[in-house]
Every structure is written in C-alpha cells, then in structure tokens.
Structure 1
C-alpha cells in the first residue's frame, strides 16, 4: 500500500516516494519535524541546511501555519514579561533580533511600531516600574513618557498614572514570513508532506534512536516512514504527539486558552502605536490590547477563555461587552458599536498558567527526552513563539548536534 501522491504544491515527489507500508533498514529521512506552524518551519529550515541530511516536514492540514501561527496578534515582542532565566526571555530576545535582521534583508513586511504599556492607578504604575526594571536588567530599551508627549502622539489615549514605552516592539506580516521560511526550506532540499496526520509513533531501537512514524491514508489504512530524529512541533496537538512516544507515566495533559480578537470599523480613534493595559499578575494573557496590522487596521485582543476543544474557533459573543469595557479604560473615545467579533486563536498550554513571570508562569518546554535519543519535544509553545521562532530553530539544532 503506497502513500497517496499529493500535488507537487502540497508535497514534493521526493517526500511522497518515501511513504510506504514497507520498511527499509536505512532511515528514509534523517529528520522529521511534525507540525508546519511558524516554529516547525523555522526548525525544519534550520535542519535542512546541514549537508548529507534529509528533512521532512509533516503537516495534517493542506498548507503551513493554519492554526496558532496565523491566528495571533503578529507582534514582534520585546521580551518584557517572562522573567530572568526563562527560555521565553532568552529565545524572545535572540529571536527578535534575528527576525528584524531577516525581515530587513529579505524584504518581509514588518514595522517597528513601538508599544505603550498603560497604567491608570498606582498599583498598575508599580507594575510598569517592575517591567521597566526587568527590561533594564536585560538591556531591552524602555522609557517612561512625559504627559505632553503622550498627548501629542496619541491624544485619544487615557493614561491616568503613566505610560511605559517599549522601543523594540513591532509587527510583522506572519503569512509572508512563513511563506519565506517554507520557500527557503524547500530550496535547501527539504520535503513537505501536507494532508498527513500522524496516527502513531514507535521507537525503532530503544536506547539507540530512530522512529517509525505512521500516518493515515485515503484507503483507511496506514503508511509509514523511518527517521533518525523526531522533532515534535505540533502546537495544539504537541501533547498528543508526545504521548505517542513517551511512556504513560510521562504523558502530559493539554490545556487550551482561546483568545478572541475584535475588529474596529470606525476611522477614529486610530492610534499609531500598539497599546497594552498594565499587566495583571497571574492572568492567562496580557489583557485586551490594541494592535495594528501592516495596513494600519486596528484590532483588539486577545482575551482569555479556557476551553476543552482545540477546534473551537468560533468567537463567543458573550465576551464582547467585557472586552469593550477593558478597551475603554485606555481608549475612552472608542466607538463601542464599531467593535465587533473578528476571529479566534488558541494558545497551547500544559497548565492554566499566566502570561507573565510569577507563581503560575509556564515557560516553553524544549528538550531532548531522556531515554529517547533524537526525540526533541516542544510543548506549550505559545506567545512569544512567533518572535522566538528563528531562535528556537537554532536551539533545536544545538540540542541535536552540539
């Protein structure tokens, strides 16, 4: 039984050729990356650059980046919230610089918009001071703004207690970025297999490495390939993939934080800067903030709604009033009837964790799993995953080769 050959635009002939129910003694690929979101793309592109290797990118959907990677704020984060020593801080700082450099070199649409974090009372202002102190300690530029400057640049913003500006925050066209990564991966000799859902994974030689990846086919059966190394970058379904490989006592439960985004149809107010309310410790997100796309269109979000179904992408109308109330705390002249439901994104979690460093903070999990040589597991890759993606690619390369 052979793997159904997809159009060349969906899976290269080289990738399709290797999928079959028969096994060979030699691995079909040196690397398999499961999940073609922005992080999976960055990893696959990084690995494909190695000589005398072969890398396949496996994706259950028909194209790259159709889940979390295309349903977010498209913000290039500065790295302000994740605390000392965390992977999120380390990879966000490195990834931000790599992203700005790559986008400038390759003409990928992006813009350094800056970001304002806004306080309305003394408690919120103390949070801004905490963020500023942390930013200073990691050499990320932030500054408190004078009231005259605030009124001049963004006259519609309400900031009773103060504003902290993040100078290195920006925005990116995530679809153009992923399109570049995919093209560069293919130019380096990588192979893509779309419409390919992984059904099970078996270690070939316990303790020595190698994996057989089984995928469903159109006939209701299974096809398989053998690979030397396995990288789990499946995003919302990363726990499911991990649990296929690891023993039951090491299984993880997935949690899903749904974030609704809201459109704005009025022409005023129209800020030029990203606007964020002061962070609330323990909150699953960073509050319903204002972001811009590359055309200057205003959108708000995301909020946080814990759900059980990772396929639940329908905006919840009951969230709208609460979101508008929060937006009006920092943008009081916003027209309530011009704000409406837009789209949703879901953040993969391994607990009901907060977005900022503290008691409930959940860091990225990126590790070589003990007892399973060549198996790199990536779990809870949420924000700032987009910003960190290029740095994550290098980290996975280091785990495998250095």
Structure 2
C-alpha cells in the first residue's frame, strides 16, 4: 500500500512539474517545430556535404536571427496586436484580405510539399510497399486530426517532438566520430565561395519563417503574456526553443560533414539521400533514425504553418478567432485537405517530390518573406501600435537586415522559381 501511495505521489509531482513548465513555456518549441521541416533537414545536410564544418557559424547565427525576429513578433502581440490585425487597421479590410489570401497560397504550397515529403519518406522506410501518393493523403488526414486537438495538446506534442529530434540527430552526429578541433573551426565565420553565401542565406531564411511572424503575435495571448512582466518569460521560452532547434541543425551538419563528405558525396538529390548514404557507413540504424527524424520534422511543420491562414483570414475580415472555435477548425481542416493534394500537383504540373521540397519553400521566400518582413518592420516601429515599446536602434538593425535579405532573395530568384514551377522541372 505504501509503495502505491509513493508511486502516486511521485506521479503527481511529475505531472505538476510538467504542468508548471507548460504554464510558462512551450510556445517557442511550436515556433521552432514550424520552421524545422524537410527543407531545413535538406539545407543543413547540403551545408555539411558541400562545405564540411565551415558553415556551422551560419547555423548558430540563424538561431540568433530567428530568435530576434520572433522576439519582435511576440512584443507586437504583447504590447500591440496580432500582425494581421495591424494590417487590417492600416490597410483596410480589402487590403488585409488580399494579403491574407496571397500568403495563404504560400501556406498551402508548403503543406503540399510537406505531405509529399512525409509520404515519400514512409515509402522509402516501407521498402516501396505503398506509393507516396496515397500516403500523402493519409498524412494530410493525420494533420487535420492533430491540428484540431487544441493549442495545449499541440504545444506538448511539438515540444516532445523537438527534444526527440535533437536526441536522434545528436546520436547520429556522435556516431559519425567528428574531430572536435575541426568542428570548433566551423564556428569561425568564413565563406568558402559564392555558393556558400547562397546556403548561408537559405539557412537564415528557413529559420526566420514568415508564418511564425503572424503566429507568435497571436499565440502570446494564449500563454497569458500581455504586459511588460511577461517579456522575460517570453524570451526564455524562445531561447530554449531556438537553442534546441539550432543544436539539431548543427548535429545534422556535423553528421553529414563527418561521414558523407569524406565518402565523396558532394551533392544531395533530396532530404532522404543523407540517410541512405549514412546507412552505407554507419549501418541501417542510421537510415532509420535520420529518416524518421526528417519525417517527424516535416509532419511537425504542417500544423503550425496551416494554423497561420486559419487565423489570418478571419482576422483580415475583422473576426477574432481562437483555436477552439468551430470556424477556425473548419478553415484549418479545409486548407490542409487542399494541401494534401500533392499527388494531383505531381500529375498536373509534373513536379516530383524533390521539386516540391525545393520550389514551394522557395516560392514562400520569394513572395511571403519579403512581404511579411516589411509588414513586421512597419508594425514594430509604429508609434500608435507599440508606443514606448517600439524597436530600438539595435533591434531595427536586425529587422532591416531581414528585410534586405528577403527582398534580395526575392528579386534574384523570382524568375527561376516561377519558371521552374510552371515548367514542371527544376
């Protein structure tokens, strides 16, 4: 009897500790789960394969960049209003709705890519027993069920998944046997060639994910963060989330740099390729662990990314919605259902899974990121909205860097991205 009572007390104490943690923290892990998808795995793997440890500094810098961008979004939600509510107030219902619909196209494109990526990964793990097309539809259905569970449940799932991803990739990185001294040199900024600069931009671009600018400004109120006293907690929350995300990215770079580059692998066809190559050196367990991690990361991204338009569209129209509202759930489910039609996109446009993994995030970089970066810059510097909590000079320097980077990437790559999508080839 005493043993049962002790077990009950211990379980109660653990439950209370978990509840206390999520009463204050967890939103940062939702934001990191949003950006850490198949594209992030592919980009980090490409950095390790092509440049060894040389771009580890960019992965660390991207964490700081993403943290500061999210800090601006969070402060906007705490001291002002959600970003799309700001857009509606400044641009009117018609202007805000046009922006919301344009950005929704980008979110659906991301969902198409992510359902295809998860479906393809499961096909590989199953040895081709089932094609990726029907699996993509199943993944979309699972995302619908998961996404309507409510914020608190999603927060716990995303936090657990991010710690799981970190553990999986750290195990693979540790088994790869990297030289510590060589790894350390990678944190000294260097740009081996022009191609490395493009990868640096990609690492930063995928970490500073534009749907998060809207989502964080909305969900801070879900956490009860509504005044100056919440800023410290918010920043600790973001710090924990982005440290976990950054370490996971660094682990992927280290694993691919330590194993694949010495083995002569210099280019990757898809996010699945590193797992297959690692298996040849480390054994089949590395393929399973790497690929399961990549699939979990891709699935993780679907829910928060598709939450964004389910909030944005009603806000642009002048309605305040919460995750538990029927209107929100129906809109979310409908948009994810459309985003599950990656097999149809494959049939009509001739885009392969690899094409979608590369091109649809690129579309968002061309359209969504510059538009949202400009809107966020405007909002956090607007006296009427932020009052005395407007951006300072230092934070504005980061914000301006984000705007310049996003506009540069859009201008330099728009033609290639749209041309590849329409032609059905990359």
TM bucket, shorter chain:
under 0.3
Greater share of helix = 2
Flag the structure with more relative contact order, 1 or 2, with Cα contacts below 8 A and sequence separation at least 6.
Answer: 2
TM-score (norm 1): 0.25
More strand by share: 1
